[in-house]
Amino acid sequence: MCDGMKDWWKEATVYQIYPRSFADTNGDGIGDIRGIISRLDYIKRLGADVIWLCPVYKSPDVDNGYDVSDYRSIDKKFGSMADFDTLLREVHKRKMRLIMDAVFNHTSDRHGWFIESRKSMDNKYRDYYFWRSGKNGREPNNWISFFGGSAWEYDEGTGQYYFHLFSKEQPDLNWANADVRNEIHSVMRWWLDKGIDGFRFDTINHISKIPGFPDAKPLRGQKRIDWGRYYKNGPKVHFYLNEMNRKVLSKYDIMSVGETAATLEDIRATKLYVDRRRHELDMVFHENNEIRSEGGRPKASNPLDERYNTFKWRLGDLKRNFTAWQTALGKECWDSVYLGNHDYPRMVSHFGDDGKYRVESAKMLATMLFTLRGTPYIYQGDEIGMTNAGFGSIKDYADVWAINMYNEYTAGHKGGGGHALKILREISRDNARTPMQWNAGKNAGFGSGKPWIKINPNYGRINVESALRDRDSIFYYYKRLIKLRKEHGVMVYGRYRQILKGHPDIYAYTRSLNGDELLVLLNFTAKNTNYKLPRALENKEMEFFVGNYTKSKSRNVLRPYEAIVRSISQRRS
């Protein structure tokens, strides 16, 4: 048996909402909680079971809400706590669940704890953060921030530096301090006691720092520094999470998912977070959608975060990556499956074809999303095939990372603006943050006021209203997949086995559970593509299960971006 234990969150489909870009009801150009309430029936109609809400807490918005200044309040731009309570009630009324983003690696520099902390060396809150003296008139060590520049910021008041993995307005919390952990637990209980159904833990594999903050150096014989060795999976991370599980999570019937960017080399270390015998998290986002392939890497941007340097990917790497995780996690661990979120380009633009084959390729990718082993996550707008923003001017960008990267690059390269923009057009996080396209009317039906970020000009063609009118739309294909997954345990719990491993254009695998077996074939190219099934499958009787073209043409050819799932009869034909 490979299904392990059954759990509601394994069978659920999650829909991720980026609130500021979802629906605006008061015309200030920013999506709000009432907007979400007004669209709950839409999400229900799709068939999703769980809503993951990106941060709506009070925040100065340096990083769009991932810089929290008060964990127990709703930011005014999103509404009030009463609005939130209504949202939760309305979600539950529709038999759906709601999980919140938990941003505890850092706070905003405007959070009360940090305001206190920076006042003096002996302030009660000093040790809530990492304060260190400089070395020889420089930063305490050579670590750099994910958002560019040093990870240390000098603070005049006390003449010391504080540590920030992200922007300087996001100081890292010191989890080694038990008071910090207790505060975090109490914030979590406060929300759970309201009745929310779980958390998505932001950047959780970074919470434990190496004591002493040693300078980072390349390993012997290597040129580049492997920053992950210093930043990820710190020595006490599992202790902290196990404690959090024991004291808080285990007391509620909820789900937990941690964000833990990881490479293939990290699989063993990452499994530890989700091995159910260890009592930490239910699943993680290991960012296996972030396929790194050599080549096509411009000499730009932050050397620390290579994902920003890489915008070419190869199917061979995608297959190897997904197969490695799918097989390594095994029966004691569960996975999350996603191909994009608010930190990545749109999945159809990145992995599919957002031109001629937009509809076919979006459906093909959806087929993958719902037939791999793990809980599927839909990012708002992907269910109608929304595409990258493709902004032409730096003025259109809002993301702190995009702007920092642009400034850093243009400062170092005279006339490099065009190149920096080219990179941003491919990979900027703003690509997936443009307002949700509800209809072909004013502001795409997002709201009456000018939106905080530009609307994708293709909203006349790509929008919810037209998707709901068209029985062949991407929307209805998602709906069908969600429904099928509810009816067929094999899609949820079935064992994964890759086939056609060496095929350059097709990703294919089987799923099997107690005599039920599915064959999944995905063509990642815009051409007709031949394949030959392995002997063991060749002679089996098969029936059409689901696919993005009507009925398959031939048993050995896939049409452009065709996805086909067949159910395999155990009898030989």
Residues labelled catalytic = 202, 259
Find which of Ca ion, ligand ISL, none residue 426 binds, CB within 5 to 8 Å per kind: none
Which candidate, 167, 194, 230, places its Cα nearest to that of 85?
194
Binding to ligand ISL (CB under 6 A) within 325-384 occurs at 342-343
Kindly indicate which of the ranges 17-25, 56-64, 429-437, 515-523 contains the residues binding Ca ion, using the contact rule CB under 5 A. 17-25
98 touches 433 (CB < 8 A): no
Q: How far is the CB of 452 from Ca ion (least distance, A)?
A: 9
Residue 61 touching ligand ISL (CB under 6 A): no
Residue 435: is it exposed, middle or buried by C-beta count within 10 angstroms (0-12/13-18/19+)?
buried
Residue 24 touching Ca ion (CB under 5 A): yes
H or E element: which one contains 565?
strand 563-572
Q: Which residues have C-beta within 8 Å of that of residue 177, sequence separation ≥ 6?
A: 127, 128
Report the residue number, 270 or 456, with the smaller CB distance to ligand ISL.
Answer: 270
Residue 83 touching Ca ion (CB under 5 A): no
Q: What is the DSSP string of 2-29?
A: ------HHHH--EEEE-GGGT--SSSSS
Report the residue number, 26 or 439, with the smaller CB distance to Ca ion.
Answer: 26
Near Ca ion by CB under 5 A: residue from 15, 17, 20, 32: 32
Give the amino acid at 522: L
Find which of Ca ion, ligand ISL, none residue 166 binds, CB within 5 to 8 Å per kind: ligand ISL
Q: How far is the CB of 446 from Ca ion (least distance, A)?
A: 10
Find which of ligand ISL, Ca ion, none residue 520 binds, CB within 5 to 8 Å per kind: none
Report the residue number, 368 or 427, with the smaller CB distance to ligand ISL.
Answer: 427
Binding to Ca ion (CB under 5 A) within 495-514 occurs at none
Binding to Ca ion (CB under 5 A) within 119-178 occurs at none
Binding to ligand ISL (CB under 6 A) within 453-512 occurs at none
Neighbours of 521 (CB within 10 A): 24
Spatial distance between the Cα atoms of 482 and 326, rounded to a whole number of angstroms: 20
522 touches 508 (CB < 8 A): yes
Q: How many residues does the chain have?
A: 573
Report the residue number, 30 or 339, with the smaller CB distance to Ca ion.
Answer: 30
Q: Would you give the binding string for ligand ISL spanning residues 193-222, x where CB under 6 A is met? A: ---------xx-------------------
Residue 80 touching Ca ion (CB under 5 A): no
209 touches 234 (CB < 8 A): yes
Q: Which residues have C-beta within 8 Å of that of residue 421, sequence separation ≥ 6?
A: 391, 392, 393, 394, 406
Kindly indicate which of the ranges 24-32, 152-160, 216-224, 268-276 contains the residues binding Ca ion, using the contact rule CB under 5 A. 24-32
Find which of Ca ion, ligand ISL, none residue 305 binds, CB within 5 to 8 Å per kind: ligand ISL
Spatial distance between the Cα atoms of 573 and 571, rounded to a whole number of angstroms: 6
Closest residue to ligand ISL, judged by C-beta, is 66
Number of residues in contact with Ca ion under rule CB under 5 A: 5
Residue 83 touching ligand ISL (CB under 6 A): no
Near Ca ion by CB under 5 A: residue from 4, 26, 226, 263: 26
Q: How far is the CB of 28 from Ca ion (least distance, A)?
A: 4
Q: Which residues have C-beta within 8 Å of that of residue 549, sequence separation ≥ 6?
A: 360, 559, 562, 564
Find which of Ca ion, ligand ISL, none residue 343 binds, CB within 5 to 8 Å per kind: ligand ISL
Chain CA centroid to CA 190, Å = 25
Residue 561 gets the label, from left (phi > 0), alpha (psi -120 to 50) or beta, of left
Q: Would you give the binding string for ligand ISL spanning residues 107-146, x where CB under 6 A is met? A: ---------------------------------------x
Q: In angstroms, what CA-CA distances link 205 with 168, 173, 279?
A: 20, 13, 15
Q: How far is the CB of 61 from Ca ion (least distance, A)?
A: 13
Residue 169 touching ligand ISL (CB under 6 A): no
H or E element: which one contains 193?
helix 178-194
Near ligand ISL by CB under 6 A: residue from 68, 261, 291, 378: 261
Report the residue number, 32 or 61, with the smaller CB distance to Ca ion.
Answer: 32
Residue 172 touching ligand ISL (CB under 6 A): no
62 touches 170 (CB < 8 A): yes
Question: Where do the H-state alpha helices sit in 428-530?
Answer: 464-469, 474-487, 489-493
Q: What is the DSSP string of 356-367?
A: TTHHHHHHHHHH
Q: How far is the CB of 170 from ligand ISL (least distance, A)?
A: 6
Chain CA centroid to CA 509, Å = 24
Give the amino acid at 173: L
Residue 38 touching Ca ion (CB under 5 A): no
Report the residue number, 197 or 259, with the smaller CB distance to ligand ISL.
Answer: 259
Give the residues lining the site for ligand ISL (CB under 6 A): 63, 66, 103, 146, 166, 202-203, 259, 261, 305, 342-343
Residue ranges binding Ca ion (CB under 5 A):
24, 26, 28, 30, 32
